[in-house]
Amino acid sequence: KASVMDGDNVDYEEMEDALEKSKAKSAFEALLEERKKLPIYPYRDELLKAVDEHQVLVIVGETGSGKTTQIPQYLHEAGYTKRGMIACTQPRRVAAMSVAARVSQEMGVKLGHEVGYSIRFEDCTSEKTILKYMTDGMLLREFLGEPDLASYSVVMVDEAHERTLSTDILFGLVKDISRFRPDLKLLISSATLDAEKFSDYFDSAPIFKIPGRRYPVEINFTKAPEADYLDAAIVTSLQIHVTQPPGDILVFLTGQEEIETAEEILKHRTRGLGTKIAELMICPIYANLPTELQAKIFEPTPEGARKVVLATNIAETSLTIDGIKYVIDPGFCKMKSYNPRTGMESLLITPISKASAMQRAGRSGRTGPGKCFRLYTAYNFHNDLDDNTVPEIQRTNLANVVLMLKSLGIHDLLHFDFMDPPPAEALLKALELLFALSALNKLGELTKVGRRMAEFPLDPMLSKMIVASEKYKCSEDIISVAAMLSVGNSIFYRPKDKQVHADNARLNFHTGNVGDHIALLKVYNSWKETNYSTQWCYENYIQVRSMKRARDIRDQLAGLLERVEIELTSNSSDVDGIKKSITSGFFPHSARLQKNGSYRTVKHPQTVHIHPSSGLAQVLPRWVVYHELVLTTKEYMRQVTELKPDWLVEIAPHYYQLKDVEDSVSKKMPRGEGRA
């Protein structure tokens, strides 16, 4: 009954509420108009009819046609959510989050309520959730708790063309459950046209094609190969900005570091040009970009300005950014490669495939004619690039999925229904590793240790490290280490103008040459002692955001410890106990110092080095265990801890024999390296 004229009696809250609602309503209406303009919209009814008539449907449509954002909504509107949730899987976490945010806006609901997302260590869903965007890896994990996926009425395996390891395993599992759950609808959606393969695999499922709108794209190659593609990409961006008509630019780079470098150089150069040129908005997007910055790439470009999006492969098909008219394609991406003989995995900057190059070019012709600048020659394109990217299952370590499949009771892995089988050697290697970690017994059956390990959404070596901490009574410490390792290499902050200060602050945690794992533990514990102070992080050149993430992950690991009935105990003073737990998981990653200061891995001899960022880089202990190998200019071990060689025989007697760890061996070794 309050009226605006009543002065004191005005119920501001109510007014604000009404205002919010009307704003939300008009935003909702505006979005509805946009939804109706998407290429998929005219096919809505036909699509729903096809889903109704067939249990499995393969859906093909150009990137940006509306598959990911619209199909789950259409199915919801048609009533499918009355029988259960709709799952839509994405190979990348950023895509899952960003698409869920968009769909929640389109539906006018709060993110995490009716529309939510689930990615590793972050569950943004609730009791209300009916549309669940999730990484393919998370849906895979859900099989462990619910082998028939009974809470779902529809599973949409989206971005199927990406053929990630998890997607490939999902194919086998959903195909299997669809046989005894006739009520479950299965949609396999893909951006590329080779959908026949999906259809064949799913017992000749029908293919539903969404005709895309596509404008011509002019393709330009360089005349000669570029020596420095990053520099070439920056120069090309600036040239486009200065000489070409309006339209945003999308640059494909290989990873966060490269993107940050490019961002810095671009900022520097445009500042140098001052007001002579129009504003250039620089928008990075990569997997670890903080959520609050992710939305920026979707904001419309202000009149007169131009946007340049610096993206990883994520913008190839997972995310569609409107307004892109120019694409710069240096022709590379970061790709996992795996050597099943040595069990070594590394991320390498690799030339993309022809299929990728076409997808990238296509990003420029979505809303009008576009231009693509390939920073390689036409000869390169035709003669050097593979036609398609090799599916991940054929170039990765399989230990994780083998452990998961074993936990699901799938024993005969050689006869699992793979769309493209992994190399038998890689399967054997995974079985071998799991046996060495005591997750499997001699018969290949899951052990109690293995069952516990499978509860953790981590690599088997990390899970084993955690499970082993029970024995050394340091589970509290070990989950802190595991959480810090899981955050990645973004704990320490090293601003260009304060590198010396930052390095000193970092070295504080390495007092006593404790090694990188214990240093990470010290960082975590010190932060905890300050009651999680932000100020403390600033003073110590530590990234608050990463620490908060570590705390979140740690909380979840603590919950999982409870689930596998491992008591939470701390024993920070027993450094050897903590190191032994680490060794229990990472003993396959041991290395011994050589006379020339390099290291040689013990089991499959290979020359490696301690990464310069390690606290032990100057110390060079005789024996070390490392977290991972990264190949840059050399093969580097990252996150290194010293160990005593007899621990290897004590902890992994089935893996190491005394002769492997005899210290004298290094003296007998011929000088020079490289028989490996």
Residues at the contact surface with ligand ADP, assessed by CB under 6 A:
38, 61, 63-70, 98-99, 101-102, 298, 320, 322
By CB under 5 A, is residue 167 in contact with Mg ion?
A: no
Residue 102: name its binding partner from ligand ADP, Mg ion, none (Cβ under 5 to 8 Å by kind): ligand ADP
Backbone angles phi, psi at 155, to 5 degrees: -120, 120
Q: How far is CA 495 from the centre of its chain?
A: 25
Residues 6 or more apart whose CB falls under 8 angstroms from that of 343 comprise: 397, 429, 433, 588, 604
Residue 322: name its binding partner from Mg ion, ligand ADP, none (Cβ under 5 to 8 Å by kind): ligand ADP
Nearer to ligand ADP, 132 or 579 (CB): 132
Do 450 and 463 form a contact (C-beta atoms < 8 A)? Answer: no
By CB under 5 A, what part of segment 444-503 binds Mg ion?
none
Q: Which residue is nearest to Mg ion (CB)?
A: 68
Name the CA radius of gyration of the chain, rounded: 27
Nearer to ligand ADP, 65 or 164 (CB): 65
Here the tokens at position 149 are: 């996926």
**Distance in Å, CB of 102 to ligand ADP, minimum:** 4
Do 76 and 108 form a contact (C-beta atoms < 8 A)? Answer: no
For CA atoms 456, 460, 464, 465, give the dihedral sign.
negative
Cβ atoms within 10 Å of 52's Cβ, excluding its own: 11
Q: Which contacts of 456-461 are long-range, i.e. CB under 8 A and separated by 24 or more positions?
A: 456/557, 456/560, 457/120, 457/121, 457/137, 457/141, 458/482, 458/486, 459/399, 459/400, 460/399, 460/400, 460/403, 460/433, 460/434, 460/585, 461/399, 461/437, 461/585, 461/586, 461/588, 461/589
By CB under 5 A, is residue 65 in contact with Mg ion?
A: no
Nearer to ligand ADP, 117 or 332 (CB): 117
Do 387 and 355 form a contact (C-beta atoms < 8 A)? Answer: yes
**Distance in Å, CB of 40 to ligand ADP, minimum:** 7
Do 360 and 252 form a contact (C-beta atoms < 8 A)? Answer: yes
Nearer to ligand ADP, 162 or 459 (CB): 162
Q: Using CB under 5 A, which of the segments 62-70, 267-275, 539-547, 589-597 binds Mg ion?
A: 62-70
By CB under 5 A, is residue 70 in contact with Mg ion?
A: no
Residue 221: name its binding partner from Mg ion, ligand ADP, none (Cβ under 5 to 8 Å by kind): none
Nearer to ligand ADP, 38 or 430 (CB): 38
Nearer to ligand ADP, 322 or 562 (CB): 322
Residue 101: name its binding partner from Mg ion, ligand ADP, none (Cβ under 5 to 8 Å by kind): ligand ADP
Question: From the list 65, 68, 70, 118, which residue makes contact with Mg ion (rule: CB under 5 A)?
Answer: 68
Nearer to ligand ADP, 99 or 478 (CB): 99
Residue 69: name its binding partner from Mg ion, ligand ADP, none (Cβ under 5 to 8 Å by kind): ligand ADP
Residue 65: name its binding partner from Mg ion, ligand ADP, none (Cβ under 5 to 8 Å by kind): ligand ADP
**CA distances from residue 271 to 92, 275, 277, 281, 497 in whole angstroms, order as listed:** 34, 8, 10, 12, 19
**Distance in Å, CB of 501 to ligand ADP, minimum:** 38
Residue 26: exposure state from Cβ atoms within 10 A (0-12, 13-18, ≥19) = exposed
Residue 645: name its binding partner from Mg ion, ligand ADP, none (Cβ under 5 to 8 Å by kind): none
Residue 641: name its binding partner from Mg ion, ligand ADP, none (Cβ under 5 to 8 Å by kind): none
